[in-house]
A = this chain, B = another copy of it.
């Protein structure tokens, strides 16, 4: 991992002793706990931190960061460990700050349709809490991730085509900066033209500019009516073209998800379902009763023109839940294809006009490899995933997946897309940030140096930093 200005690891002993004196039992150096905090759900090798702090308050985080800064010890934040590009790996050792005990929902305002939560609150916890308010938090990356982690990685997921990503959902936040100061960004007004958009700068910075400890979120009203449907197609191309036309018609889809034949087969095995093994769209409509009928008629018409089968409807809440559970279990279903293997999920996002080309070229690439790589996608956004299932201990397999993944990213970039639509850069895609952003990377490095001059916050992630005055 290239890392310009981090010297060989410092001896963490003195810093850990000082942290231990301050935090007592909330600090752990237990090997199992350190290991649990040294990886995410991806194939990236575990890199345990030197210690784990279970923070209870923003002030805990601030004090811990101040102590680490004094000793030069790196700090890595940890939410639920469900990221997919090696976000929590402590590549240079240091302190992992686990935010899961900061799980208080501080405020819900039904009139303003917003709330403020601590970073460790998970999205399902929040939605359970909101159940009787008529509101919900729509961003849904699949995993029951923490809100802080979702903000830090600019998460999105199945509902983003209608409700946006964390970029749109976060109204403001509290974060602890590299010097241990606490900054509050944004506010509760729906829009503001007051100064630089620090909220958007921190959202997606993956813990490298600050540790997010509180988030104010925009919520949405539960729609009057919701209906979900499944529709298999004769070819990937016909399914993707259905999506493109639907988006271009302006149908306000709540969800429009593609699963290729390989993924459907994996889902059937895992969930014991009997979906036709074919490229398939999972759809969801939100609106008034009339509204969703109108939307569904439009989309059914488009799908029919492309050879799609009749919609299989799920309108009862329990049926809808089961349908989306099948979609959300895609990662685990993939793993079921090869026992004792690990997932290497990668994602790209392209302008929707290039989506069919991008998926079809990728599919052709995958035809030439024995390693399973099911495709699922939030295709309404032009975003799709390949989830390779590999033996991470087999160097040939790792090399092969790296080659295929590299070709996928370069294909997406050549089509005007991005190297990651929602998984983030972590330590897995650093090399592509330069290819995508060119001189923009220099600006990102300037900002990183300005806000974290000693490269203490999650070093080795997102970007390689060079010293300002070497």
Residue among A156, A187, A196, A450 with max Cβ neighbours from chain B (10 Å): A196
Q: Which of B221, B250, B444 contacts A198 (CB 8 A)?
A: B444
CB-based contact A188/B417 at 8 Å: yes
A329-350 interface code vs B (CB 8 A; 1 in, 0 out): 0000000000000000000011
Chain B residue at minimum C-beta to C-beta distance from A221: B250
A446 within 8 A of B: yes
A165 within 8 A of B: yes
Set of chain B residues within 8 Å of A272, measured between Cβ atoms: none
Nearest-Cβ distance from residue A342 to partner chain B, whole angstroms = 21
A411 within 8 A of B: no
A205 within 8 A of B: yes
A382 to B190, CA, bound (A): 7
Set of chain B residues within 8 Å of A440, measured between Cβ atoms: 183-185, 195, 198
CB-based contact B353/A193 at 8 Å: no
CB-based contact A184/B438 at 8 Å: yes
Counting every copy of the chain, the complex holds 2
Nearest-Cβ distance from residue A158 to partner chain B, whole angstroms = 13
Residues of A within 8 A of B (CB): 109-114, 153-156, 160, 164-165, 167-168, 177, 181-185, 187-198, 200-201, 203-205, 209, 220-221, 223, 244, 248-250, 288, 290-291, 294, 349-353, 381-383, 416-425, 429, 432-433, 436-444, 446-447, 449-451, 462-463
Contacts beyond the supplied A167-B191, A200-B200: 11 A-B pairs with Cβ under 8 Å: A109-B353, A111-B244, A111-B353, A182-B439, A188-B351, A194-B433, A194-B436, A195-B425, A196-B444, A197-B204, A446-B450
The 10 A-B pairs of least Cβ separation, nearest first, read A200-B200, A450-B450, A192-B418, A111-B353, A189-B349, A221-B250, A188-B416, A112-B351, A189-B418, A193-B424
